[in-house]
Structure formats: C-alpha cells, structure tokens
A and B are shown apart, each in its own frame.
Chain A
C-alpha cells in the first residue's frame, strides 16, 4: 500500500509546485488524520493541509448509513504512484450496498470510507520511479491494487490477491475525490478519442469481460443473462461482442428490460417470482428457440431463484457463470446438475482486461457504451448522485460523478 506522508513544517516554497498547490494555513485535524489513516492514506495530524488548484472534495460513507462530502489534503506522490485529477467516476451497486447495509458478506464498513472505484482522469504528477507515464497523460484507473508478490499474483490470478487494496472497498479509500494518488502499475493510458466518462466505464465493463473470458464464450453460442442491471448489461454486451447468439436477458423489472431492448437485446423475459424452477426454464427455452437452449448463463442477480432456474434452463453440459453476489449461502439442485453435467464457474472481478477494454470501448466495438451513463453530477453534488441511484423513478443505469478541467 502506498504510504503518502506529508512531512511537517514544509516551507511555503516546498509546499507549492507547478500544479498550483497552494500553501495553506489550515492544518490536518487529528480526526481527519485518523480517518484517512484507516483507509491507507497517511496525513500527519497537525501537518499543513496541502491543497491543489481546487479543494480535494471527497465522498465518504459511514458505518451507520450516511454519506457526506469532506475535503481531504492534496495527496503526496510516492515514487511508484501518480497523482491523478479524477475527472469521472461511476457509482457501483456495491457502493449503494455498503451505504445502505454497511457490509457485503464479511466486508464491513467499520470506519468512514471514501468510496469510488470506477474512474478515469488526468495525471498531474508522476512519481520518481515511474517511467511509463507523463504529466498530462489521460488514464483509466484499475482499482484493485494487487501485491504481485503472492502466489496468486505471480501465477496470473492477481484478481485473487489476498492482500489486494481495492479502492473504495473497506478498508481502502477510493477514487471519489478530486485528486488521488494511485500506483502507476494500475493506471492505463487511454487514447484521445476516448472520453473520461468512457474511461470510467472500463471497470464495470471489465466485470462483464472477465465473466465472458471465464466462460470462454464462443461465436454462435446461445447465452442467457440473468439481470438487466449494469452488470447484466455489461456481460450481455461483451457476450454479444464475442458473437454469442441468441442472447436472452431476464429481469424482474420491465423498466430494466426496456433499457436492455434499447441496447438491441430483443429477447427479454420478465421473471415472475411465482414461477417454479421448471416454469423459469420453460419460459427461457421458449424464447430462445427449440434447438437453442442456453449453453452459458451469466447469472448477474445473485438471487437463488434465478440461479436455480438458470440451472434448469441451461442445455445439458452447460455452464452457469456466477457473476452476481446475493446471500452468502445458496441452496443448489446438485442432483439435477450432476445428471446433466451442468457446472458452475464463478468470476471475481477481472484480470488484465484494461488494455483490451480500452481498445474496444474506444473503437465502439461494444456499440455506444456511453449509453450506459444515464445521469451525470458534479463532484460537489455527489450526495445527490447517490440518491439518484436509489430512486427507482430515475431509471438509472450508470450514474457518474464528474469534475471539470481546472
């Protein structure tokens, strides 16, 4: 984890650099120092409160379900990091969950946390060891900072790194601020034709791409996607780009299905919670066609009824690709799976998807990915952005928080 220490007693000159960092009479309070430290950002209590051109406003969540804005110091540039002016950040369902329920599984909000992990921005400063980036470079941020020393990392599964510092997931502070420091190894340059908003879509689309990769989707395979939220849509877009056909999408909510149809997915199924697993399977197989039972089901709801129904909908030998998270424990029809060789493969986050996804989004390969973004708010209006996410009438898919150029 990068250690970002502000040294005490810097002179006016030392505090100012070419990025317009202003000296400030304000000091870092003990409370703020403690809050930052718990999330991996070191700012010594009593030290000068470093400022950039604009205040480093950040969006925090508390363990008792509050969100608020509070300014944090301009970050220090560790030798292996870059300072990034965050220009766009998407809000993820997991963040809403941390806000409203305080936990996902064993991962609990135990201290005030800066959220955010879907970001793109511009490099303001480059650490002493960083060779691959320059000031002004436009980047997409990969939030999962893996150690690259453990067995998982060096054998190519860095998404499983047990020591990962994942931005915006307890305990690590995230990217929902104006200025952050991030290890250069997890920054990825984007081409000029790619906007910051698109750069902030790489992360959620990578979840879809990671799932498609784990499922080894092949051209012409019939595929089912359960859930038409952002992750279901991401999986569906990537599966379709890989040539899956036909692609059928389910949801409980007709609004979500209408949105899916706007992305060109014609085969949609509105799930009725009164259906048995056999009803579910029959409806799906009906819609997909007689000789077209799904070979892969991307389960993006985490709901038991959907998981079980998908297992019955899948063709013999098919694969359930579990993307969505639901309850910690789910009951499965193991015998039915055994007798038909239906398997479950799970997918957790992604690995090495940034280079490919940047290329594909920039080349419009997934269609107009910007259609994902339904609402945009200024950083100062982040709280409103979060409230929009939980207002069904707003029909949001991806809400983004953006900051203008200085």
Chain B
C-alpha cells in the first residue's frame, strides 16, 4: 500500500513513447487510451497514454463516465490549489469516475472482469498514524488521481488497485457511479456536521456540491432547508431537485448580517437555524452562515476559498458557534452506493451536459462558462 506513489509514478506515463499530446478532436478508436490533461501552461488538451495492464492486486477499468469537478477546472485555469498542489507537467484530469473492469491482476478476488465499479480516487498508504485510525483522508502520502502530479481518471483505460474500486449494482448507472464521488464529499460533511433529524439547515451555495449536499441533507431529515446562491438558475435547479427547499437569492451587495436575516426569516426561525453547511468557501458566505445560527450550532465548511479569511470571533464566542472543516472524505463509498441504490438520493438530475471522451476539451470549456448553465458535465465513453 505504501507503494502507491511508486506504482502510479506519473513519469511512467509521461516518459512512455506512447504518450503524446493530441491537438485535434480525433475519431473514436477504442485501442487508444485517450485522456484529457492540463499542464503548467494552463492549457488543456487531449493526450494519448499507454494502455495499462493489471499487475498483482490491480485492475484495469474501462472508464465509462467521468464528471468534471471545480478543482479540475481550477488546476487548468490557475495551475495550482494552495502551495502543495501545483501543476508542473502534463497531468491527467478527473477523479469522479465509474466504469467496467476489463482486466484483473493476480490475486484479485474482490472484483472480476465485467463488474461495474465506482473508483475511489484517493489511495492512502495504510501505514501512517491517520490511516491506522481510519482517517485516511489525512494520509500525507496519498495518491489522489488528478491532483498533480498523479494522472486522473478521465481516460479510457485506468489502472487502479482492486482495494479501492467499489462494485456498484446493475441498477446504478455509470453516470451515477461517477457522481458517487461528489456524494461522498457531501456525506462526509454531513457526517461530521452533527446534522440531526429535524434540524433546520442553511446551505450556502447551490453549485454541484451545494446541490448534492441538499439531496443528502434532505435524505437525512433536515427540515426546513434554506439554500442561497447568487444565481437564480441554480436556485431553480435546487427547487427541482428538492421541491420543499426554500431558496434565497442573494447579490454581492448583501452584507452577511442581511443574508443571515433573510435566511432566518425564510425559515421562520428568528432565533436562528441549527446547522449551516457552507458550499462556497467565500468569506462573506461563511460569515452569513455564522450569523444565521442559534446558540450552540455548527457551521460546517465544505467549500474551499481564500487562504486567509475573517470571522466574527466574538459572535462565535458568545454564541458557542463552532466552525468545522472538511478535507475530501473517508469510508463514505459503501454508504453512498447504498443510498443511491436504495433511492434515498437521486443524483441523475445533476447531469446537465454530456460529451464523448473525444470532446473532453469542449466539456471543460462548457464547465467553466457560466452562460452555458452547466451543473455537472459528464464525459462518457461507449462500451
């Protein structure tokens, strides 16, 4: 397990003679391991990678669906997230994937050829302190596909340890399988937020993470739920997903206190709601969340944003408001699969745009262009 960084050394791909950048939109050729990569020059393009073969304990997955994440777009456009995740070379995008096992390596019994699987994209070492207590999202030597330098899962053929694929039932589609990743993010957040049955909840942000959090929080029995966003389109989308949600449109001139007041009024709770989940990472939004809650509540921050942010310290102090954070997820996939299979969370409506693998670049352009109204763009490869 500690061998993952060596096993998935990106140089194995980049230095392979079969690796090349493709500047045009090719015809589909299943023999080619097509992928989509960003680089240190903030470019995004198709690349051809060597087709992997399964070693001991590994499987090769024909990736059938991959969702685009905001972090993929951020790596493309900005070349980094913080100081530790920096694009220095061609790096394959994508970490929200599901597909079909086409080859199993020696000793693999967990899955067999033909099985439908969802990919858990973070491979922890299994030996560090955090791995040993089950908080493997904290593993410092994790291989997280699509976080530079490890090539992502937005590819035709992907090599993965059998331990970290999750079988999905036939009733769950490949698209849903790929959406299990953002669902895992939301589930991890809800797990640690302390959200309870019947809790009035404020969700800040109706982007893909806010929306998947809305679906999960609704399934967890939060009520009433108030969701805010700058975009009327996104709020309407939220309402379609969960008709009972209360939406509040905000604009950049609203102060955090004003937003908090509107949220409390909408919920009919002048003393404040009982939990807030921020899915924006924006300072004013986190502040609004703090002001919207009653004594003893928690603001749970899933969103990521500026390195340094101001918080109303004394308000938090005098009201025992906790602010908690999240980094990726651990131990969420089996639960996510159960919830989707059981119909408690319906992820299908989140997909607004679909592209073939050959058109992956257009998918990314759609994802970053607000005017195209994308929520979740999926890249699909046929059988």
Contact partner, A219, options B198, B223, B244, B339, Cβ 8 Å:
B339
Interchain residue pairs with CB less than 8 A apart (18): A209-B197, A213-B196, A213-B197, A218-B191, A219-B216, A219-B220, A220-B187, A220-B338, A220-B339, A242-B196, A243-B219, A243-B339, A243-B344, A246-B342, A356-B197, A356-B198, A359-B198, A360-B197
Kindly state the separation between the CA atoms of A220 and B198 in the bound complex, as whole angstroms. 16
> A243 and B221: CB pair below 8 A?
yes
With a cutoff of 8 Å between Cβ atoms, the chain A residues found around residue B344 in the complex are 219-220, 243, 245
Minimum distance in angstroms from B172 CB to a CB of chain A:
14
- Asked if B336 is an interface residue, CB under 8 A from chain A, the answer is yes
With a cutoff of 8 Å between Cβ atoms, the chain B residues found around residue A219 in the complex are 187, 190-191, 216, 219-220, 335, 339, 344
> B338 and A292: CB pair below 8 A?
yes
- Asked if A363 is an interface residue, CB under 8 A from chain B, the answer is yes
Kindly state the separation between the CA atoms of A363 and B221 in the bound complex, as whole angstroms. 12
- Asked if A130 is an interface residue, CB under 8 A from chain B, the answer is no
Minimum distance in angstroms from B125 CB to a CB of chain A:
23
> B338 and A212: CB pair below 8 A?
no
- Asked if B334 is an interface residue, CB under 8 A from chain A, the answer is yes
> B220 and A243: CB pair below 8 A?
yes
Instruction: Count chain B CB atoms within 10 A of each CB in A218, A219, A221 and give the residue with the most.
Output: A219
Kindly state the separation between the CA atoms of A218 and B344 in the bound complex, as whole angstroms. 13
Minimum distance in angstroms from A319 CB to a CB of chain B:
16
- Binary flags per residue of A358-382, CB closer than 8 Å to B gives 1, else 0: 0110010100000000000000000
Instruction: Count chain A CB atoms within 10 A of each CB in B197, B339, B342 and give the residue with the most.
Output: B197
> B339 and A242: CB pair below 8 A?
no
Question: Which residues of chain A (190-246) have a CB below 8 Å from chain B?
Answer: 209, 212-213, 216-222, 238, 241-243, 245-246
- Binary flags per residue of A268-288, CB closer than 8 Å to B gives 1, else 0: 000000000000000000000
Minimum distance in angstroms from A194 CB to a CB of chain B:
15
> A363 and B191: CB pair below 8 A?
no
- Asked if A291 is an interface residue, CB under 8 A from chain B, the answer is yes
Contact partner, B223, options A212, A222, A363, Cβ 8 Å:
A363
Given contacts A243-B221, A365-B223, contact A360 B198 (CB under 8 A): yes
Kindly state the separation between the CA atoms of A218 and B187 in the bound complex, as whole angstroms. 10
With a cutoff of 8 Å between Cβ atoms, the chain A residues found around residue B187 in the complex are 219-220
Given contacts A218-B191, A219-B220, A365-B223, contact A212 B336 (CB under 8 A): no
Contact partner, A220, options B196, B223, B244, B335, Cβ 8 Å:
B335
Minimum distance in angstroms from A209 CB to a CB of chain B:
7
With a cutoff of 8 Å between Cβ atoms, the chain A residues found around residue B198 in the complex are 209, 356-357, 359-360, 365
> B197 and A359: CB pair below 8 A?
no
Other A-B pairs beyond A218-B220, A241-B197, A292-B338, 18, CB < 8 Å: A212-B197, A213-B197, A219-B191, A219-B219, A219-B335, A220-B187, A220-B339, A238-B197, A242-B197, A243-B220, A243-B221, A243-B344, A245-B338, A246-B338, A363-B244, A365-B198, A365-B221, A365-B223
State the interface size on chain B (CB cutoff 8 A): 19
Kindly state the separation between the CA atoms of A79 and B300 in the bound complex, as whole angstroms. 44
With a cutoff of 8 Å between Cβ atoms, the chain A residues found around residue B216 in the complex are 219, 243
With a cutoff of 8 Å between Cβ atoms, the chain A residues found around residue B244 in the complex are 363
Kindly state the separation between the CA atoms of A292 and B338 in the bound complex, as whole angstroms. 9
With a cutoff of 8 Å between Cβ atoms, the chain A residues found around residue B223 in the complex are 359-360, 363, 365
Instruction: Count chain B CB atoms within 10 A of each CB in A221, A238, A245 and give the residue with the most.
Output: A245
Given contacts A242-B221, A243-B219, A243-B344, contact A222 B338 (CB under 8 A): yes
With a cutoff of 8 Å between Cβ atoms, the chain B residues found around residue A292 in the complex are 338
Closest 9 A/B residue pairs (Cβ): A220-B335, A356-B198, A219-B220, A242-B197, A243-B220, A241-B221, A243-B219, A242-B221, A245-B342
Minimum distance in angstroms from B165 CB to a CB of chain A:
14
Closest residue of chain B to A356 (Cβ to Cβ) is B198
Kindly state the separation between the CA atoms of A317 and B336 in the bound complex, as whole angstroms. 20
Instruction: Count chain B CB atoms within 10 A of each CB in A220, A241, A365 and give the residue with the most.
Output: A220
Kindly state the separation between the CA atoms of A206 and B335 in the bound complex, as whole angstroms. 27
Minimum distance in angstroms from B232 CB to a CB of chain A:
26
- Binary flags per residue of B138-177, CB closer than 8 Å to A gives 1, else 0: 0000000000000000000000000000000000000000
Closest residue of chain B to A238 (Cβ to Cβ) is B197
With a cutoff of 8 Å between Cβ atoms, the chain A residues found around residue B196 in the complex are 213, 216, 242
Closest residue of chain B to A219 (Cβ to Cβ) is B220
Kindly state the separation between the CA atoms of A245 and B339 in the bound complex, as whole angstroms. 7
Kindly state the separation between the CA atoms of A356 and B200 in the bound complex, as whole angstroms. 10
Kindly state the separation between the CA atoms of A218 and B221 in the bound complex, as whole angstroms. 10
Kindly state the separation between the CA atoms of A213 and B195 in the bound complex, as whole angstroms. 11
Closest residue of chain A to B216 (Cβ to Cβ) is A219
Instruction: Count chain A CB atoms within 10 A of each CB in B190, B221, B244 and give the residue with the most.
Output: B221
- Binary flags per residue of A94-132, CB closer than 8 Å to B gives 1, else 0: 000000000000000000000000000000000000000
Kindly state the separation between the CA atoms of A357 and B196 in the bound complex, as whole angstroms. 13
With a cutoff of 8 Å between Cβ atoms, the chain A residues found around residue B339 in the complex are 219-220, 243, 245
With a cutoff of 8 Å between Cβ atoms, the chain B residues found around residue A212 in the complex are 197
Kindly state the separation between the CA atoms of A356 and B197 in the bound complex, as whole angstroms. 9
Closest residue of chain A to B200 (Cβ to Cβ) is A359
Minimum distance in angstroms from B199 CB to a CB of chain A:
8
Kindly state the separation between the CA atoms of A242 and B339 in the bound complex, as whole angstroms. 12
With a cutoff of 8 Å between Cβ atoms, the chain B residues found around residue A357 in the complex are 198
With a cutoff of 8 Å between Cβ atoms, the chain A residues found around residue B220 in the complex are 218-219, 242-243
Kindly state the separation between the CA atoms of A212 and B197 in the bound complex, as whole angstroms. 9
> B197 and A220: CB pair below 8 A?
no
Kindly state the separation between the CA atoms of A245 and B198 in the bound complex, as whole angstroms. 17
Contact partner, A291, options B191, B334, B336, Cβ 8 Å:
B334
Kindly state the separation between the CA atoms of A117 and B219 in the bound complex, as whole angstroms. 31
Kindly state the separation between the CA atoms of A294 and B187 in the bound complex, as whole angstroms. 19
Minimum distance in angstroms from B168 CB to a CB of chain A:
12
Question: Which residues of chain A (322-336) have a CB below 8 Å from chain B?
Answer: none
Kindly state the separation between the CA atoms of A104 and B223 in the bound complex, as whole angstroms. 37
Kindly state the separation between the CA atoms of A222 and B191 in the bound complex, as whole angstroms. 15
With a cutoff of 8 Å between Cβ atoms, the chain A residues found around residue B342 in the complex are 245-246
With a cutoff of 8 Å between Cβ atoms, the chain A residues found around residue B334 in the complex are 291
